[in-house]
Amino acid sequence: MTSTSLAIAVELDGTGAHPASWRFGQVAPSDAASIVDLVRRVEHAGFAIATFADPTTRIGHPTIRGRLDPVEVAAFAAAVTTAIGLVPAVGPLHAEPFHLANQLASADFASHGRAGWLAVTADTAARAAAYGAAEVTAPEAVRLENDEVIAAVRLLWDTWEDGVFIADEVTGHFLDPARLHYANFEGELFSVTGPSITPRPPQGQLVVFAPFDARPGAAAVAPDLVDVHLVGGSTVHEVGVLAEAARRAAEGREQRVFAEVEVVLATEHDTATGRLAELDAHAPWPTNERLRHVGTAEELHDLLTALVARVDGVRLHPAVLATDLPILEREVLPRLRAERRLVVPRPASSLRRTLGLTRPANTFAAAHAGGGHRVR
């Protein structure tokens, strides 16, 4: 990845980002054929990543029911794609780190190293109810639980070192016990012994995405636990300021910054403002502290070009997938690709390679190399 190109992700939740999108869309959120068609289309168009929303953390879509689990959708999509990154959104709050680590690692195996994890930090009543837990609202409590779950999941991914499988016929050993470890994670809220029941993912560690919020007291994930920071901002300048703040917070850690961009595009027959007004008449679109583009495809191209020097990528949230996605496929991404401003994933490349991120060293292997104690 270079400073002259963008990796573009697209959110494929349901019928679109607008809460009234279902009235104008043709994509069934729980229809397998629709999922296959969508992911194949966006991969062919040159999108680097497809994200899948966590239905228990989705705000603003009270009339939509029956969404599928995002990790299962990503694993299903892995079988019909070869290049695009697949990133399910899963909130760490209330989640069981052991099971979550294994689910996400399995998605990475299914996709041959193209999976990521979008750690949605906010809690909702629906998410708390899904786990039979009380909703967490205090920012410091949200931050603590998010950080502990993500840290525990990352540690569990490393409990199997690379090279653990030896299949030695002479000794009869299938595994090298010195390369299999207990996590022994001890936090303020819980502890995890481990090890994982799934070997280390193909990428070593899945790419972890999380919203960035530098405001004092915000319930943001600790920067050292994140690979890709998602920033908001109502203007290109604000996006740039937040992107720089995210890079400073990372303190030299290898990371990337993506801008969140909501999109309502003009069509042949309707202006973008007219479309948005019609959608809002059914259900207002809440502001999400994201950059919102309401205009033509040409203007969106200019906006993305302006963002190239400020961020490493963007995540687009089309208002209505059935209307906005074809315009993106036809008028926006081909032009960016022709101008060499688009990061296009290659078949069989890992998501880390697409984003220019190195495969991390195993925590336990590094400790052993440094003279630390190896758990057997």
How many whole angstroms separate alpha carbon 292 and alpha carbon 67? 25
Tell me: pLDDT of 240 over 70. Answer: yes
Q: What is the mean pLDDT of residues 281-294?
A: 93
Q: What is the mean pLDDT of residues 347-368?
A: 91
Whole-number pLDDT of residue 4: 87
Whole-number pLDDT of residue 129: 83
Q: What is the mean pLDDT of residues 320-339?
A: 96
Q: What is the mean pLDDT of residues 256-269?
A: 97
Q: What is the mean pLDDT of residues 68-88?
A: 95
Of the pLDDT bands very low, low, confident and very high (cuts 50, 70, 90), residue 32 is confident
How many whole angstroms separate alpha carbon 98 and alpha carbon 222? 20
Whole-number pLDDT of residue 42: 97
- Token pair, residue 140, equals 């410091």
Q: What is the mean pLDDT of residues 313-323?
A: 96
Whole-number pLDDT of residue 101: 97
- Strand residue runs (E) in the chain: 7-11, 49-52, 85-88, 116-118, 165-168, 173-175, 185-186, 191-192, 207-211, 228-231, 256-265, 291-295, 313-318
Tell me: pLDDT of 39 over 80. Answer: yes
Sole residue written with tokens 């779950």:
149
Of the pLDDT bands very low, low, confident and very high (cuts 50, 70, 90), residue 216 is confident
> Distances from the Cα of 345 to the Cαs of 146, 208, 230, in angstroms?
30, 18, 20
Q: What does the mean pLDDT of the chain come to?
A: 90
Q: What is the mean pLDDT of residues 235-264?
A: 94
Whole-number pLDDT of residue 159: 96
Lowest average pLDDT, out of 92-96, 171-175, 186-190, goes to: 171-175
Q: What share of the chain is helix, strand, coil (3-state, %, to 5)?
A: 35, 15, 45
Give the chain's count of helices (H) and strands (E).
Answer: 12, 13
Whole-number pLDDT of residue 40: 95
Whole-number pLDDT of residue 369: 60
Of the pLDDT bands very low, low, confident and very high (cuts 50, 70, 90), residue 26 is low
Torsion of CA 321, 323, 325, 330, to 10 degrees: 170
Task: Answer for the pair 115, 85: CB distance below 8 angstroms, yes or no.
Answer: yes
